Structure 1
Amino acid sequence: MAPFTPPAADAVRARLLLAARDEFAASGLVGGKVERIAAAASSNKAQVFHYFGSKEGLFDALVEQTVAETFEQVPLDTDDLPGFAGRLHDAWAERPWAQRLTTWHRLDRASAVPLDAVLERQAAMVAEVERAQRAGVLPRSYRPAVLLGLVLHLAAFWSEAGPESEALTRAVVPARRRQVVVDAVTSLVGG
């Protein structure tokens, strides 16, 4: 008889994060159930608490991972902010759960301590925008953090739109939506 080999810790953690992604994207932190996450990951509640400390810890780890994956897939390009915004729009269109998670994070964790990994990534991006502004690559009409925020929100415009906005803009087809984002950021940076 072959000896029992427990699953690798990284594999269990990855399965829990994947199951949590689907659960939290659908129901948020408050509505998400650890029991459903554990069952979907072929694990148990004890593993969630072992790897993440709490349901909130799992949710925060998932948000951090989602942000990291998004900006690894679409790194900031201060030489081409309109193109960056278009690629970010594409990434969010391909991964709709990513925007849902960040929306739930804003709603369910509004009073929580900000996530260090997300703050560090944002600070690095703001510093990159500031360097580009000082070099004359980007206009100085907005503070670096504001300019970056505007670009990020323009890129997310279609994926964050509610049903009322969707009803008003239904005629704008997906390919055109991307171009609207690129054109808006081009206008913003004076291109």
Structure 2
Amino acid sequence: MAWDTERTKGLLLEAATSEFCTRGLAGARIDRIATEAGVNKERIYQYFGNKNALFDAVIVAALSSLMDEVPIEGRGPEAMADYAGRLFDHHQKDATAPRLLFWEGLERGTEVVGLPKRMANCASKVNSTIAALPGISREDAGDLLITIVSLCDAAPVLPALDGLMTGGGPERAERRRAAVVRTVYLAAAALAAEAQEPLNAPAATA
């Protein structure tokens, strides 16, 4: 029987995603990943090279999936607020991307994995933001996206701090979502207004 390489890679990526989300890069163990996947650990080295390369593959796969699952749609500040709300909802159901990104930041600092793919994904998001808010600069679009990502990613990875700050409660996630959406709407509206200022400025008189 021929070995199903793609299925094996999928099993390893799934097991590795769980391991890295829970323990980070330094704490993850190849033996545990292989056991969870039901695959000989030599397959990890054969397909991915080493633990660092496997971590790279996990992050790229998770973020690429997120790009497809939560697109920016529509135009205006409402579109960016809607995107933030949907991203918040996604992370409440599946905290994989936030956890991986926090571990990456803690353990790797500014080192970026999967650079070409991730640069293309980020450029696509920036372009979508500019399309939603015509006239804003690429830097402003990037700043707005970082704000959205920071707000949405923090919710599932800082639960203790959230509870200390707010007291928690059964409707906490709903209230936090509303705060995120409101913040993003106001930020996007301010950028949109600034982008239109030259068009609305009165003509100079002689």
Pick the TM interval, shorter chain: 0.7 to 0.9
Question: Once the 2 structures are TM-superposed, how far is the Cα of residue 85 of structure 1 from its aligned partner?
Answer: 0.4
Secondary structure of the residue that 1:190 maps to in structure 2?
A: helix
- Give the structure 1 partner of residue 83 of structure 2: 84
Judged with a 3 Å threshold, the aligned counterparts in structure 2 of structure 1 residues 150 and 97 are, in CA distance, closer, same or farther, namely: same
Paired positions, count: 184
Report the alpha carbon displacement of residue 97 of structure 1 after superposing the two structures with TM.
Answer: 2.7
Tell me the C-alpha RMSD between the 2 structures.
2.2
Distance of 1:81 and 1:131 partners within structure 2: 11
Q: Is the 8 A contact 1:154 1:184 kept in 2?
A: no
**Bigger Rg over Cα:** 2
**Structure-1-length-normalised TM-score:** 0.86
Structure 1 unaligned segments of length 5 or more: list them. Answer: none
Quick one: which amino acid aligns to residue 58 of structure 1? L
Question: Per residue, is there more helix in 1 or in 2?
Answer: 2
Say which of 14, 26, 37 aligns to 1:18: 14
Consecutive unaligned residues in structure 2, runs of 5 or more: 191-206
Contact 2:91 2:153 in 1 (8 A): yes
Write out per-residue CA displacement over residues 116-149 of structure 1, whole angstroms, 9 at most, x where no aligned residue.
211210012112323444x35xx66x62211221
Moved more, 120-129 or 158-167: 158-167
Letter in 2 for 1:167: L
In structure 2, the partner of 1:178 is 177
1:156 aligns with 2:168: no
Once the two structures are TM-superposed, the CA of residue 90 in structure 1 deviates from its matched residue by 0.6
Residue 121 of structure 2 corresponds to 121
One-letter amino acid of the structure 2 residue matched with residue 43 of structure 1: V
Does residue 74 of structure 2 align to residue 70 of structure 1? Answer: no
Distance in 2, Cα, partners of 1:132 & 1:40:
43
C-alpha contact 1:78 1:129 (8 A) present in aligned 2:
no
Whole-Å Cα distance in 1 between the matches of residues 92 and 106 of structure 2?
Answer: 21
AA of the residue aligned to 1:102: L
Shift of 1:78: 5.5
Who is 2:197 aligned against? none
TM-score for both structures, normalised by structure 2 = 0.80
